[in-house]
Amino acid sequence: MKNRPHPCLLRVGMLCILMGQFVVSQGQDKSAHEAEKEEKVPGLADTDPLRSDDLWFLHSVEDDILGQENLSGFLARFRSVLRGTPVSGDSIPVSVFHFGGSHVQAGRIGWAFRKRLAQDRPGLVVSRGILPPHRLAGENGPPEVRWSSSANWQGQRSSHRRHTGDWGITGLEVSAAVPDTVCLWNGEWTGQGCVDAIDILSPTENHWEWSNPHSLPSEEPLEVDAGDTLMLWTTDSVARLHGVWMRNRDAALVYHDLGGNGASTAAWLRHSLLEEQLEHCPADLAILAWGINDAHMRPDRFDPDRFKERYSQLITAFRAAHPAMDILLVTNNDSHYRNRHNPNAERVRQTMAALVEEMEVACWDLYGVLGGAHSMDLLQRTGFASSDHLHFNRNGYELIGELLYDALVRAALQNAMEP
C-alpha cells in the first residue's frame, strides 16, 4: 500500500467498482421527481422534442447567444468535433462543464445534449463526465447512474446553509467513518464507449490499493481488468468523496453535469477547492446557469448588483483556474414565486447582458428562447413543465438540452464563416 501525494483529483485506471469509506442521508427535494416525470404531448416526436406542435410560442433562435465572439476558442474545437476532424492536433477531448441548480442535477439536459451529438455523428464517442454521489446522499440524480452501498452515509451540500464541507467542483461532499463497499453503475447509451480510467475527487489525503495486488506508479494510470476493486484508505478518521469520473481515452467530447438542488452564486462561492480541482480537469467551456435560486424571492428583495458581484467573483475564479476557458452564462427560465409570476427573470437577463460587456463572456438567452414572461404557464399546460411553475419535467429538460445543442451548433458554424 502506497501513500499518494495530497491531490484533489487522483487518476487511476480501472472500470466500475469502488471500495472505501464514504457517504449519506439527505432529504430529497420533492420537486426533483418532476425531472423524470414524462408527459404525453401530442405531436411530440420520440427523438426530437423540438417537433411538438404545442411549442409554437418558442421565439426565433437567431442571435440567442449574446457575446458569441467570446466563445471563439470553444467553438473552433467544437466545430472540429462536428466535422469529424482532429481536435487541435491532440487527443484531449472537448470538455464542457455545466454548472447550475436542480435543473442541471437532474441530468437530463446534458443527457439530451450528448445523445443528440452522438446521433448526429454516428461513431463519435461522447462521454458523461464527473459523477457526483447524489444518490448516496439521498438526493435525486441522473436515472441511468446508480450508486449502491449498505452503509449509513452522511452528505453535505454547499447550497444548504447549515452544511459545512471542503467543497470543490461538485458542490457535494459525502462521508462515512465505517469502511464499506460502494458500487457505481453508469448505464448511459453505448455511444459513450468503454471506461478505461477513473478519477477520484476527494478533499483528503488517501492511501490506495487494489484488491488484486498491482504496483501503483506515482503518476502513470494503472490499467486493470474490469470489475476489480479499488480500496481507499484515509489518514483521517473519516474518508470523504466529491465524485468519480469514468474516463474514456477515445472520447471526442465530455459533458459534465454539475448541478445541485438549491444551488446559487452565494453557495458556489463557499467552495474552497473549486479552483484547485478545476485546474486538474481539461476545460474548454464552462456553462454557468446559476440564477433561478438567487432570484426566487419577492422583487423588492432581489438585488441585481449583489447578484452581479457574485457572478463576477465566480467568473474570476474560473479564469484563475483556466485562463483560456470560454464562459457561457444562461439566463433564468420564466417562473412563479408564491403562485405568482416572478419578474426577476428579466432583471437577471439584464444583469447577465451587462456581464457580457464587462467580463467578456457570452450568454445564452434561455428566457427569451422559451418565450419570455409567462412562458412557464404555456410550458406547464403543454406538458413540459412542473406544476410548481419553477421546474421542468423530463420533456422540458430534454427540450432545453436540444435547444442548447442547436444554439452551440449554429454558433460553431457561424463562427467558421466569419472573417
pTM here is 0.85
pLDDT exceeds cutoff 90 at 180: no
Phi, psi of 69 (to 5 degrees): -65, -20
Of residues 180 and 44, more confidently modeled: 180
Nearest-angstrom CA–CA distance, 111 and 113: 5
Residue 287 C-beta-side C-alpha neighbours within 13 Å? 30
Averaged pLDDT of the chain: 81
Burial class (CB in 10 A: 0-12, 13-18, 19+), 277: buried
Please give the CATH topology (third level) of the domain spanning 2-417.
Rossmann fold (3.40.50)
- Measured from the Cβ of residue 272, the count of other Cβ atoms closer than 10 Å reads 13
Looking at residue 182, its pLDDT comes to: 76
pLDDT exceeds cutoff 80 at 323: yes
Please give, one letter per residue, the 3-state secondary structure of 54-97: CCCCCCCCCCCEECHHHHHHHHHHHHHHHHCCCCCCCCCCEEEE
Which H or E run includes 1? none
Phi, psi of 278 (to 5 degrees): -65, -35
Give the pLDDT band of residue 374 (cuts 50, 70, 90). very high
Q: 119-123, 137-141, 283-287 — which is least confidently predicted?
A: 137-141
pLDDT exceeds cutoff 80 at 211: no
Give the pLDDT band of residue 136 (cuts 50, 70, 90). confident
pLDDT exceeds cutoff 50 at 36: yes
Give the pLDDT band of residue 35 (cuts 50, 70, 90). low
Q: Please, which contacts does 87-94 make with residues 24 or more away whose CB atoms are closer than 8 Å?
A: 87/252, 91/249, 92/282, 93/127, 93/251, 93/252, 93/253, 93/254, 93/282, 94/252, 94/253, 94/254, 94/284, 94/285
Give the pLDDT band of residue 90 (cuts 50, 70, 90). low
Tell me the Cα Rg of the chain. Answer: 21
Name residues whose C-beta falls within 8 Å of residue 223's C-beta, 6 or more positions apart in sequence. Answer: 13, 196, 197
- Measured from the Cβ of residue 409, the count of other Cβ atoms closer than 10 Å reads 17
Q: Are 21 and 179 in contact (CB under 8 A)?
A: yes
Nearest-angstrom CA–CA distance, 116 and 409: 11
- Measured from the Cβ of residue 194, the count of other Cβ atoms closer than 10 Å reads 12
CA nearest neighbour of 149 among 185, 114, 180, 126: 180
Q: Find the length of the chain.
A: 419
Span 301-315, pLDDT tens digits: 999 999 999 999 999
Beta bridge partners of 45: 48
Looking at residue 269, its pLDDT comes to: 97
Q: 61-70, 285-294, 367-376 — which is least confidently predicted?
A: 61-70
Looking at residue 222, its pLDDT comes to: 45
Which H or E run includes 413? helix 394-417
Query: What are the boundaries of each domain within the chain?
Result: 2-417
Q: 56-60, 127-131, 180-184, 254-258 — which is least confidently predicted?
A: 180-184
Looking at residue 21, its pLDDT comes to: 33
Amino acid in the structure at residue 318:
F
